[in-house]
Chain A
């Protein structure tokens, strides 16, 4: 009963913040309400028994990714062209279509039998680390995936640096520096 009350509170916060993302005009307000949504989702993870995932959610999503979002918004001064309409004629078709699609999927979900299993494992730090790194017990699958993920993050970082840096010495960058 208490879990249901907590879940309803957190779900209302999550959905309200997500609706704020949809309706807010300035991207900075959208980013801030997205942070609220992420943090309350972390609370839901803790509530249904995956505390480590909730901690990772707070660290990576609400910390790192949203820091990147707000940083880029502030660097680019994203309020500059907020004169364009928030929703146009295409949105009139997209939003009902998505709502109808969600209604169909929700109908199929409600019809399916789902129940919590009492023997399910709690996703604690010990269980997660044992699954990821104890190669003798769980096989090398997750560990190889973990290493590949490190390579992916490294290549993403290199790609981001290469994309976002100014090309020093080129004609374009000098023109840009003159302009600013």
Chain B
């Protein structure tokens, strides 16, 4: 039995599900951001897996777009952690439940 593209898609699906679970169900802000990173990774893996099912020049786009996606994830992590530092200075807490009054 050889490696099938569906295995890659199922792995990406499982990773995405775990990432969403981490991002929504954990209370700690670091885990929320790490869950978002996991979900972004899963999407990149899905891109590459689907690109490998396409014929020759059509398969290039699916291998270039994840590069941009990784760079955008880097920008997102940069701003996200700066926001965590900013919020932590105001509240002295990284528990997401303490930021529930929408006043900043």
Contacts and interface: CB of A to CB of B under 8 A. Distances in A.
Number of chain A interface residues as a range: 35 or more
B102 interface: no
B81 interface: yes
A163 interface: yes
Interface in B6-28: 6-11, 13-22, 24-28
Contact of B66 (A53, A69, A163): A53
B81 A119 contact: no
Contacts of B16: 102
A171 interface: no
Q: Chain B: interface secondary structure?
A: helix
A50 B35 contact: no
Interface string B69-104: 011111111110111111011000111010000000
Interface of A: 1, 3-4, 7, 11, 14-15, 18-19, 21-22, 27, 30-31, 34, 37-38, 41, 44-45, 47-50, 52-53, 56-57, 60-61, 64-65, 68-69, 72-73, 75-76, 78, 80-82, 84-88, 90-91, 94-95, 98-99, 101-102, 105-106, 109-110, 114-117, 119-121, 123, 127-128, 131-132, 142, 145-146, 149, 152-153, 156-157, 159-161, 163-164, 166, 176
Interface of B: 1-11, 13-22, 24-28, 30-31, 33-35, 37-38, 41, 44-45, 48-49, 51-57, 59-60, 63-64, 66-68, 70-79, 81-86, 88-89, 93-95, 97
